[in-house]
Amino acid sequence: MRLLVTGGAGFIGANFVHAVVREHPEATVTVLDALTYAGSAEALDPVADDITLVRGDVSDTELVNALVSESDAVAHFAAETHVDNALADPEPFLRANVIGTFAVLEAVRRHGVRLHHVSTDEVYGDLPLDDGSRFTEATPYNPSSPYSATKAAADMLVRAWVRSYGVRATISNCSNNYGPYQHVEKFIPRQITNVLSGRRPKLYGTGANVRDWIHVDDHNRAVWLILERGTIGRTYLIGANGERDNLSVMRTLLRLMGRDPDDFDHVTDRVGHDLRYAIDPSLLHDELHWAPKHTDFESGLEETIDWYRSNESWWRPLKDGVEANYAERGQ
Ligand code: NAD
Ligand code: DAU
């Protein structure tokens, strides 16, 4: 299979490329990535001899068309992904997430290429904190932020291209990922690298908000399965029953790093902050027999802490700039 991976130099995309090279040597992998502030060619260093990396924008229709014409399938990860950045400046999110997905759709339509579109549970909005409800494939879209609104728009384009043009596409909406190579602007790596660089961790508001954590490798195994065996036109929700409130995650991280669990700062809350996400992954279990392998969140966090300890040269150059941005926003 000739596989085109958009956004393959980002957190989830790079881990996906590593897994494909490791587990599916029959696949030929080309990565298209703009190498924005969130992309890292270094994240692909371990597989550099096994793949082709093309630096370019996913909204560049000519480039995308040329790359898709030489592919059998596309795994579309490329996006602007950080909610706080979207709140500060939504424009790049419209371009990458909406126009970028449009460019991919037009190219796969023209060349009859299989597409898997990677999306997020944030398109469903949020859930009340304590009622035990979960998102399903039938939950109505109700995005809260410019980020989730652009991801929702992209999902809608994919659905329309399947129905109107017979494009062979699937969609997955996954919950919060953690693991190696996640940018230090995101919650878990931000706190780990704050401790490692002598800063105090930062919790938005009271930390009551709940996220449903999944290891990035479990997400990516689901993406591969859907690409291989998913039903065209179908949406799959990916989650690993990993609900935790932010305060608990913060305290666990501090404990695992040998610190006082209360040694952090409460900072300005995110505007419009989604309360709770939770995924019902039954369809994925029942139809594709997927199940997460990383079921012990605490040992997943320990491995992730170890990874950041051992890979300081990867994250250190990013850290000061990210913290300067946060400081400007009072976060
Ligand atoms: P990331 O921000 O770490 O990486 C995004 C990658 O896309 C980067 O390499 C960046 O350079 C590239 N990119 C951005 N704009 C581009 C453009 N215009 N053209 C080409 N490349 C561009 O993001 P991530 O966390 O790895 O997320 C990957 C995908 O998974 C996204 O579609 C995101 O919405 C989705 N997702 C993420 C999570 C999560 O918890 N991180 C959960 C569910 C779904
Ligand atoms: O649910 C999937 C989504 O998960 C993906 O679609 C997004 O791309 C990804 O960024 C993530 O979105 P969140 O907004 O949930 O992730 P983030 O890491 O930014 O924040 C997780 C929670 O932690 C959220 O409730 C905000 C809070 N937070 C975040 C940061 C950066 C803090 O309390 N302190 C922080 O410093």
pLDDT in tens, 31-75: 999 999 999 999 999 999 999 999 999 999 999 999 999 999 999
Per-residue pLDDT tens over the stretch 142-191:
999 999 999 999 999 999 999 999 999 999 999 999 999 999 999 999 99
| Residue pair 104/86 in contact by the 8 Å Cβ criterion | no
β pairing state of 114-120 and 73-76: parallel
Structural domain count, the chain = 1
State whether the beta carbon of 150 lies less than 6 angstroms from ligand 2.
no
Ligand 2 neighbour 59 (Cβ under 6 A):
no
* Residues 236, 225 contacting (CB under 8 angstroms): no
Which structural domain range is residue 11 located in? 2-178+214-238
Is 323 close to ligand 2, i.e. is its CB under 6 Å away?
A: no
- Residue 64 counted as domain residue: yes
Mean pLDDT, residues 69-96: 98
Percent of the chain with pLDDT strictly greater than 70: 100
* DSSP 8-state code for residue 276: B
What's the rounded Cα separation, in Å, for the pair 51 and 315? 23
Q: What does the radius of gyration of the chain's CA atoms come to, in whole angstroms? A: 19
Local structure of 127: helix, strand or coil: strand
Closest atom, ligand 2, to C-alpha of 79: 8
In angstroms, the CA 34 to CA 36 distance is 5
**Is residue 290 within 8 Å of residue 284, measured between CB atoms?**
yes
| 208 is a domain residue | no
Nearest ligand to the C-alpha of residue 237?
1
246 lines ligand 2 (CB under 6 A): yes
**Domain contains 218:** yes
Closest ligand relative to 184 C-alpha: 2
Phi, psi at 233, each rounded to 5°: 90, -10
Whether residue 29 lies inside any domain: the answer is: yes
Q: What mean pLDDT do residues 120-138 have?
A: 97
Q: Are 118 and 58 in contact (CB under 8 A)?
A: no
- Our answer on whether the CB atom of 126 is closer than 6 Å to any ligand 2 atom is no
The fraction of the chain above a pLDDT of 90, given in percent, is 100
CA of 318, nearest ligand number: 1
Which residue, among 200, 169, 224, has the nearest Cα to 24 in the 3D structure? 224
Q: Tell me what pLDDT residue 118 has.
A: 99
At 223 the pLDDT is 98
List residues near ligand 1 (CB under 6 A): 7, 9-13, 33-36, 38-39, 57-59, 77-81, 96, 100, 118, 120, 151, 174, 176-177, 183
The closest-lying atom of ligand 2 relative to the alpha carbon of residue 122 is 1
- Asked, for residue 76, whether it belongs to a domain, the answer is yes
Kindly state if the Cβ of 190 falls inside 6 Å of ligand 2.
yes
Rounded to whole angstroms, how far apart are CA atoms 77 and 6? Answer: 5
Q: Residues 6 or more apart from 54 whose CB is under 8 A from it?
A: 30, 31, 32, 33, 63, 67
Give the pLDDT confidence score for residue 254 in this predicted structure. Answer: 98
pTM over 0.85: yes
Indicate if ligand 2 lies below 6 Å from the C-beta of 176. yes
147 is catalytic: yes
Distance 186 CA to ligand 2 centre (A): 6
Q: What is the pLDDT of residues 256-266, one digit of tens each?
A: 999 999 999 99
What is the predicted pLDDT for the residue at 161?
Answer: 99
Atom of ligand 1 nearest to the CA of 177: 40
Q: Which atom of ligand 1 is nearest to the CA of 214?
A: 40
User: How many Cα atoms are found within 13 Å in the side-chain-facing hemisphere of 20?
Assistant: 31
Which ligand is the nearest neighbour of the Cα of 13? 1
Nearest atom of ligand 1 to the alpha carbon of 76: 32
- Domain-embedded: residue 39: yes
Rounded to the nearest angstrom, the distance between the alpha carbon of 325 and the centre of ligand 1 is 19
Q: Residue 302 catalytic?
A: no
Instruction: Tell me, yes or no, whether 73 lies in a domain.
Output: yes
Distance 258 CA to ligand 1 centre (A): 32
72 is known as an active-site residue: no
Q: Give the CATH number, domain containing residue 167.
A: 3.40.50.720
Matching residue, tokens 């990035």: 216
Q: What is the pLDDT of residue 126?
A: 98
Regarding beta strands 2-6 and 28-33, do their DSSP bridges make them parallel or antiparallel, or are they unpaired?
parallel
Cβ(193) to ligand 2 under 6 A?
no
CA distance 55 to 43: 14
44 within some domain: yes
Q: What's the chain's average pLDDT?
A: 98
Give residue 90's pLDDT.
98
